[in-house]
Amino acid sequence: MSATMAPPKGLEFLPVLEKNLGGRVTAREGLAADVPTLVTDAASLHETARFLRDDPAAAYDLFLDLASADLSRLPGAQAPKTGERFQANYILYSTKRNAHLRLKVNLPEKEPSVPTLTDVWPAANWFEREAWDLMGIDFKGHPNQKRLLTHGGFVGHALRKDYDAKQRWLCTEEDLLQTELAAQTDEPSDMFETTTLNFGPSQPATHGTLRIVMRLDGETIVAAESECGYLHRCFEKMSEAHTYSQVFPYTDRLNYCSPMLNNNGYARAIESLLGVTPPPRALAVRTILGEFSRVMDHLVCLAANLVDIGGLTNFWYAYQPREEIYSLLEACSGARLTVSYGRIGGLAKDVPGNFVPWCREIIKGTRERISDVETLVTRNKIVWNRFRGTGVVTKEQALAWGFTGPCLRASGVPFDLRKDQPYEWYGEVDFDVPVMTEGDNYARYLVRVEEMKQSLRIIEQILDKLPGGPVRSDDYRVILPPKEMVYNEMEALIYHFKLVFEGVKVPPGEIYSATEGANGELGFSVISDGSGFPYRLKVRPPCFPLFAAFEKIIKGGMVSDAVATLGLLNIIAGELDR
Amino acid sequence: MKITGPSLPIAPGKIAPPIAPGVPSTGGADFLTTKLDVAVQWAQSNSLWPMPFGTACCAIEFMSVVSSHYDLARFGAEVVRFSPRQADLLIVAGTVVDKLAPVLKKIYDQMSEPKWVISMGVCACTGGFYRAYHVVQGVDEIVPVDVYVAGCPPTPENLILGIMMLQKKIQSGELARHREAKTFVPIRVGEDPVTAIPAYSNAVMAHVPGRHALPGMPPSAEDEATPGGKREMDAEIAAARGRENP
């Protein structure tokens, strides 16, 4: 880029960076709805990353995602240069400037490798392990580069385009024992014995799919290592083999406590890529049901966590509103839990006629149950002893570890995409973003309780001005036309046929689109090659950095505190492992 | 004590005075006889202690089933244990991936006999729509299954139906597996996924066809015609309630 041209919006720091690096960094215009993109090479990646973090004009303090891609099957103008095949896309965010950035590195076919960024953003650790595991990109200098999501007996890198999606590998018990915890500990000379405790995966507090290996001195954790992948069901590989519409059921099962929010996030990503806007009623219903899902998610988080620490009563209280919301979702979509209600360009169908009074009734009941739970818990002596001062995460740690969502807000960073980059109807309603500064379990509990109340407030405001009209876009290139038209009009019949057989044709391009999931920023990185199938779909799961940091949070605490902390981080294995 | 059970051969009649002090009468309908097996099966089927091997979305629905609205206690199966050594019913709720397969196998082996397995949801039954490189294509690759419960996730009613079918199987003395068939069926590598239920199994499928979105809607013609449909299930649930509160 020449010096005379003004840098693109949001990249005002670019001239300085170019001067420092001597032209090895270029800016690339993204889509209108996409994030600004910088392209660099592997040799100058580390320097660029440091600049982006430290320069006050850039200040990208949050590492959000690493979306790797295998470009070898991309056609035409999108095809990689000769000898190149892989790509690493780092998604960054600046909490000071409220801006996203994509940092792109193209990598060769043979021995793709980049320097690790774990020393710049510690959050990169697990993302890099995942990219190594699934895409085979080597991260030079990574402290612990080994498989993360697949098991030790796995051969090959599953997300490469030449990997057969059905090829499985035998996992034996020996393959599971890949933690090298013994090497971690530095035992003082006066400590004559420490014990190793295997915590999970089949343990009620770990929800069946998380595993932590701890070294204990008495009951104090001196070292810990967490492992995931016990629910890695290949979401990203599966979505490459399905049309854009067929991916909706898979997104339901990412965070199965709040499926509607995943539907919304995915639909928004694809709609931005297509340039389609759903009708206002569809967006309003999405917001309402999304907020109900957030309430459900927080309720199940609190209920399960309180059971883990010994308070069973709240479970029955918290599950009652969930059943009410399930009934509502079932009436709208036909399914209780996995709704698949979103469509590209709107919703599957309109809501039932008694939607508004029904919602109001649920809001009333939910408020009562939340207040019941609060009465039992908030000032409970046992809860205070177990929650206050345990699992503390400072503001700096939370940012470095890549936290988003309630856990980040409980540590004192008021970052909420609904407020900072409003989408759907969030710009038109009045709500507060609860923030605590303590960063302990009690703060996380209070933030979640308050968020539920704010969600109900949002829903009430939208119900007051719920617009009429259709819930499906009239752009029949992306959404099925109504049956009467299909039977009576030639053109509609053709659209119907093409949509069913070929899927939604999304124009070539790429996008990173983020929404506020129940646990934090839920991002979808999509690469489209112009066909009806996503070429590459990468999810930024909010839980992933939370669980990656878990082993650091619990170090030095007691085992019982670890249980309380794990519950309030709200790790959902479906989106953690995908 | 009056024993009420669905399959106990209770012969009504008067109880004759004993022949001698301490020696009961032996006449035809004078006293109640039953096989020990039947009594034991009746007891086992009505006090199942489930261990949920919950991994994914189905585990959330399992939580709904045990919580107050659906209340699994009505069927005597509410004592949820998280230790396999205290449980006799393993409910595999959710997707089992290759990395988790040895764990599931180990947990099954730790349960003491008699033990039963319900495979809850299509992921556990067949791998579901995850026909992929890291997903077990049905837990019957690893453990013998007694009842397959369809659905993604199954509705709570469907799981309850599955448990009731298992109770029937226990009472009839059927077992899903040969007693000696404790072998680990190895994970098939690189083969096409399983399409049929393995030969050693005589498992049954719990499936409620044509479930309606809203309670109170009339059942469809399909429901009326299908055995095991909504009408029949409602009747079974009503009968079970009647048994508990005569």
pLDDT digits over A403-415, tens only? 999 999 999 999 9
Q: Residue B157, CB half-sphere, CA atoms under 13 Å: how many?
A: 20
Which residues on adjacent β-strands are paired with residue A214? A197, A224
Q: Do B134 and A207 touch (CB under 8 A)?
A: no
Chain-wide mean pLDDT for chain A?
86
Cβ distance B131 to A168 less than 8 Å, yes or no, reads no
* Torsion sign, CA atoms A438, A439, A444, A449: positive
Residue B59 to residue A156: CA distance in whole angstroms: 31
Per-residue model confidence (pLDDT) at position A182: 47
Least confident of A270-284, A466-480, B12-26, B152-166: B12-26
- List C-alpha distances in Å: A200 to A305, A562, B57: 16, 12, 18
What's the mean pLDDT in A520-528?
A: 91
Opening angle at CA A54, ends A53 and A60, nearest 5 = 30
Check: CB of residue B7 under 8 Å from CB of residue B170.
no
Q: Which residue of A has its CA nearest to B71?
A: A316
Nearest to A302 by CA among A224, A363, A366, A230: A366
- Confidence band (pLDDT; 50, 70, 90) for B189? very low
Per-residue model confidence (pLDDT) at position B221:
53
CB contact under 8 Å between B98 and A151, yes or no, is yes
User: How far off is chain B from A126, nearest CA to CA, in Å?
Assistant: 18
Query: Which of A431, A433, A439, A432 lies closest to A403, judged by CA?
Result: A439
Identify the closest residue of chain B to A329 by CA–CA distance.
Answer: B213
Q: Please identify among residues 115-174 of chain A the ones whose CB lies closer than 8 Å to any CB of chain B.
A: 149-151, 154, 158, 163-173
User: Which residues from B are below 8 Å from A165, CB to CB?
Assistant: 131-133
Of A208-222, A254-268, B15-29, the range with the highest mean pLDDT is A254-268
A33 and A491 Cβ atoms separated by less than 8 Å: no
Q: Which residues of B touch A151 (CB under 8 A)?
A: 98-99, 134
- Closest-CA residue of A relative to B213 is A334
Tracing tokens 């590209």 back to the chain, one arrives at: A344
Q: Distance between CA atoms of A347 and A282, rounded to whole angstroms? A: 6
Asked if A445 contacts A407 with a C-beta cutoff of 8 angstroms, the reply is no
Q: Is the pLDDT of residue A350 over 60?
A: yes
- Mean of the pLDDT values across residues B172-187? 48
pLDDT of residue B21: 54
Dump pLDDT digits (tens) for B82-114: 888 889 899 999 898 888 888 888 888 888 878
Cα A55 to its chain centre, rounded Å, is 27
> Model confidence over A257-302: pLDDT tens digits?
889 999 999 999 999 888 889 999 999 999 999 999 999 999 988 8
In three-state secondary structure terms, B87 is: coil
DSSP string, A322-333: HHHHHHHHHHHH
Provide the pLDDT for residue B210. Answer: 44
Give the strands of the sheet with A211-217, arranged side by side. Answer: A195-199, A211-217, A220-227
Q: Cβ contacts (< 8 Å) between B186 and chain A: which residues? A: 170
Residues 237-256 of A with CB under 8 A from B: 237-238, 249-250, 252-253, 256
Give the integer Cα–Cα distance in Å for B212 and A308.
Answer: 35
| Contact predicate B205/B161, CB 8 Å | no
**Can you list the positions of beta strands (E) in A267-415?**
342-343, 346-347
Per-residue pLDDT tens digits for A443-460: 999 999 999 999 999 999
Q: Is A211 helix (H, G, I), strand (E, B) or coil?
A: strand
Q: What percentage of residues in chain A have a pLDDT greater than 90? A: 27
- List the beta bridge partners of residue A38: A27, A103
The secondary element (H helix, E strand) that includes residue B206 is strand B204-206
Give the distance from residue B48's alpha carbon to the nearest chain A alpha carbon, in angstroms.
19
Query: What is residue B26's predicted lDDT score, i.e. its pLDDT?
Result: 56
Nearest CA to A502 among A252, A264, A246?
A246
User: B61-86 burial, b if ≥16 CB within 10 A, otherwise e?
Assistant: bbbbbbbebbebeebbbeebbeebee
Residue type, A418: R
**Residue of B56, B67, B188 lying closest to A253 (CB–CB):** B56
**Interface probe with B: pick from A146, A149, A154, A171, most Cβ of B within 10 Å:** A171
Whether residue A577 is predicted with pLDDT greater than 80 in this model: the reply is: yes
Any B CB within 8 A of A232 CB: yes
Q: Among A134, A253, A297, pick the best mutation site for testing chain B contact (most B Cβ within 10 A).
A: A253
The answer to whether the CB of A504 falls within 8 A of the CB of A478 is yes
- The 10s digit of each residue's pLDDT in A71-86 is 888 888 778 888 888 9
Higher pLDDT: A237 or B231? It is: A237
Tell me what the mean pLDDT of segment B39-56 comes to: 86
Predicted confidence at residue A292, as pLDDT, reads 93
The residues facing A503 across adjacent strands are none
**pLDDT greater than 70 at residue B217:** no
Interface test with B, best of A233, A302, A572, A575 (most B CBs within 10 A): A233
**Secondary structure in 3-state letters for B102-131:** HHHHHHHHHCCCCCEEEEECHHHHHCCCCC
Segment A376-401 shows an average pLDDT of 89
Q: Which class in CATH covers the domain with range B31-171? A: alpha beta
CA distance linking residue A489 with residue A476, whole number of Å: 13
CB neighbours (10 Å) of residue B163?
Answer: 25
Residue of chain A whose Cα is closest to the Cα of B108? A202
| Distance between CA atoms of residues A481 and A307, nearest Å | 48
Q: Is the pLDDT of residue A70 over 70?
A: yes
Nearest Cα residue to A206 out of B116, B52, B125: B52
pLDDT at B187 over 50: no
pLDDT-derived band at B237, boundaries 50, 70, 90 = low
More confidently predicted of A170 and A281: A281
Residues of A in contact with B159 (CB under 8 A): none
DSSP of A82-93: TTEEEEEEEEEE
CA distance B241 to chain A (A): 22
Whether the pLDDT of residue A47 is over 50: the answer is yes
How many whole angstroms separate alpha carbon A10 and alpha carbon A5? 14
pLDDT bucket at A156, cuts 50 / 70 / 90: confident
Instruction: Write out the H or E segment, with its range, that includes residue B240.
Output: helix B230-244
pLDDT score of A343 more than 70: yes
- State the smallest CA–CA distance between residue A171 and chain B in angstroms: 6
Structure tokens at A111: 């021995």
Which chain B residue shows the shortest CA-CA distance from A308? Answer: B82
